[in-house]
A and B are shown apart, each in its own frame.
Chain A
Amino acid sequence: MKKVAFYGKGGIGKSTTAANVSAALAEKGHLVCQIGCDPKNDSTRLLLGKACAQTVLDMVRQNGDEVTTEQVVHTGFAGVKCVEAGGPEPGVGCAGRGIIVALEKLKLLQAITDEHFVLYDVLGDVVCGGFAVPIREGYATDIYIVSSGELMSLYAANNIAKGVARFSGRGRARLGGIIGNSRNIANERELLCEFAEKLNTRLVAFIPHDRSVQQAEIRRKTVIELAPHSRQADVYRRLADYIVENTALTVPTPMSLAELEELSLTYGD
């Protein structure tokens, strides 16, 4: 079983990328499970064709210890198992604690056993211990960071790299690479390449910013499903293949803020 996590700044395209990668893997006959670790609950929307109605935490809240695997594991496109951790409304409670409880519950249920791939789609920055849990507790071993060339996205990516570096002594989680998700800024690919290098890793994909993604999104579908023959679909497939094969996992070397700013300045126009 390969245990993968996608991290990155909010809104950068983690869920979209994760769903397309899951779809691409499933297409090839792999057994895949995608677990959304974001109170937004929209990680698996494109795979399920709808918003996930039953999150792990909803079910724990309703049924306590009686929760069953069937209640929290849903089946989506090409048989991908879809799970949403769930979490509180914005501004209340503690979402990080929620992630911990949800992942512990899944483990207890032994809901994911035969899968070839488990893909954790984790909110934003490593904002607190809860969101670091997939890295820290060994739920995921191959960490990918989704980033554009925008400074704030790089900043978040760098912070996540710090998280991975911090826990590298403790578990098996390593950095698999940077997934570039383009925002069409100047010299973006080159910038991301150098950024990845500085972090002691590689730019493993450069996903173009493409209309097909939105077109699929409004139809609640992945590009793989809606436009299987498009170039964009192939980009996701190549990324999926890369993740399958990738063994070049590293302990990242995060940058200082000054270095990061310097880097942005060098490539910016």
Chain B
Amino acid sequence: MVISKRPVVTIKGGCSCSMPGVWRAVAHNEGAVVIYHSPKACGHVTREMNLGGYYRSVARREFVPRQYMAPLVVSGLKEEHSIFGGAEQLRQCIGYVVTRYKPAYIVIANSCVAGVIGDDVQAVAYEAGQEWKIPVMSVPCSGFLDGEYYAGFYHTGRALADRFMFPRPAMENTVTLLGDRGGPGGPDVQEMKGLLQYFGLKAHCHFPGYASLEEIQRVPASALCVPLGGRAEAFSWMRRLASDLEEMFGVPFLDHDCPVGWQGTKTWLKNMGKLLGRKSQVLLAEKEQEQRLRQQVVKSRAKIRAARVVLCIGRPLLHFQPDWVFELLAYTGVSLDGIILLRGLTGQQRDAMRRELQNNTEAPVFDQREGAAVLETADLVVTTHELAEDTKRQLFLPVLSPVGVGGLVLVMQKLARLAERPARRGGIIYGW
């Protein structure tokens, strides 16, 4: 059998656009409006992303009543602007946004086009701010020219901090969560809040997203910042934001990414305990969380352990660190029949992934073509990309590693559900 692959996410090795990052950073911030200083088509990427996010939350039966959604307006750069400059077009766009939406503030994301032709967006933003008497901020990244998703996200956070935050006395036991992870209503943040509770900490702000102006101004009063990344790349940017806030307002931060997997959760708890000097709470937390995990493992193990499982990886290490997947499979008693590196990976990414896999597993690793035989006999496929063969039962791994024991359990339950499906029916379950 030849595996054809329908990549749901394009694999581009660390190359993404900064504009959706800007958008995500303030998408649910009361009163914000985002302008893409870009050709019209750039808006489409974000629209798709948003629509996908919406369907995912519907699938998870998450209903967020009255969540603010920032209007996204595109300045509509055309060929003539690439020659004559797009500053005037942007000015008009800002004018439109101000009269139409009466925003509390405007964030401008720059496209590659604006970057290539060198529009002085900073100056336009400043002048517009003076003219309309509202904060207008421009983010210093230009599409995928000099940035990536998280760079846009970070720089937006930084711009909000520079503009709206002032030093305030710290409020005891308050935490600002830095990052996205689906916002306060999502399962990841709920999981996080549960862990914070062991230490008597309360998340009083989410930043830069999901925050009203009032909440943004409360960030400097936090006793602690906790970054929510989910993978190496995201964490490094969130860490940078955290360290900026520490420098600006003296708010310390936990220098550790989201707890991923059980080992990851234990380390996270330890680090937090050390930072706060609260060791006893660590022990309690560990005990309770381990119990929670064991209960689930017992339930799922029986359903999964006999299955022949193959793991398919089509994302580079930068975007997908597989260690938690091995941990999860180990708990369920599964030994992998094989690992298949999908075609989308470049030679370099393949080599890097092979090295990483050597540290984690003894399962044989195949390239896509060689892997066809193991795939043929597999009962369950755990994969980063949908495979076109819908006769196979597939678990589509979440794009971001799941947070804490809760996240691990969720994926485990899904794998168990998949194993219960009749083999010949195939089908896919989404891990997010």
Contacts and interface: CB of A to CB of B under 8 A. Distances in A.
A89 B85 CA distance: 9
A61 B87 contact: no
Interface string B116-157: 111110000000000000000000000000000000000000
A201 to B, nearest CB: 33
A179 to B, nearest CB: 29
Interface in B25-74: none
A152 B117 CA distance: 27
Interface in A82-101: 87-89, 92-95, 97-98, 101
A94 B118 CA distance: 8
Interface string B290-329: 0000000000000000000000000000000000000000
A91 to B, nearest CB: 8
For the side of the interface on B, what is the size category?
10 to 19
B85 A98 contact: no
A94 B80 contact: no
A97 B85 contact: no
B420 interface: no
Given A88-B85, A89-B85, A93-B85, A61 B119 contact: no
A95 B85 contact: no
Contacts of B85: 88-89, 92-93
Given A61-B80, A101-B79, A94 B116 contact: yes
Interface string A49-64: 0000000010011000
Q: Which has the most chain A C-beta neighbours within 10 Å: B84, B85, B117?
A: B84
B394 to A, nearest CB: 46
B81 interface: yes
Nearest to A94: B117
B8 interface: no
B243 interface: no
A60 B118 CA distance: 22
Interface in B79-123: 79-87, 116-120
Interface of A: 57, 60-61, 87-89, 92-95, 97-98, 101
Contacts of A93: 81-86, 117
A57 B194 CA distance: 62
B366 to A, nearest CB: 43
Contacts of A87: 83-84
A92 B77 CA distance: 14
A57 B80 CA distance: 8
Contacts of B86: 93
Contacts of A57: 80, 83-84
A92 B80 contact: no
A88 B84 contact: yes
Interface of B: 79-87, 116-120
A22 B82 CA distance: 32
A87 B85 CA distance: 10
Contacts of B116: 94
A94 to B, nearest CB: 4
A87 B80 CA distance: 10
Nearest to A96: B83
25 contacts: A57-B80, A57-B83, A57-B84, A60-B80, A61-B80, A88-B83, A88-B84, A88-B85, A89-B84, A92-B85, A92-B120, A93-B81, A93-B82, A93-B84, A93-B85, A93-B86, A93-B117, A94-B82, A94-B83, A94-B116, A94-B117, A95-B83, A97-B83, A98-B84, A101-B79
A156 B79 CA distance: 29
A57 B78 CA distance: 13
Nearest to A95: B83
Nearest to A92: B85
Contacts of B80: 57, 60-61
Contacts of B82: 93-94, 97
A192 B299 CA distance: 89
Nearest to A62: B80
Shortest Cβ-Cβ A-B pairs, 4 listed: A92-B85, A93-B85, A98-B83, A94-B117
Nearest to A64: B80
A37 to B, nearest CB: 13
A101 B80 CA distance: 9
Contacts of A89: 84-85
A81 B263 CA distance: 78
B87 A92 contact: yes
A34 B79 CA distance: 25
Contacts of A95: 83
B399 to A, nearest CB: 36
A63 to B, nearest CB: 11
A246 B14 CA distance: 53
Contacts of B84: 57, 61, 87-89, 92-93, 98
Contact of B119 (A60, A92, A98): A92
A40 to B, nearest CB: 15
Given A88-B85, A94-B118, A98-B83, 10 more contacts: A57-B83, A87-B84, A88-B83, A88-B84, A93-B82, A93-B85, A97-B83, A98-B84, A101-B79, A101-B83
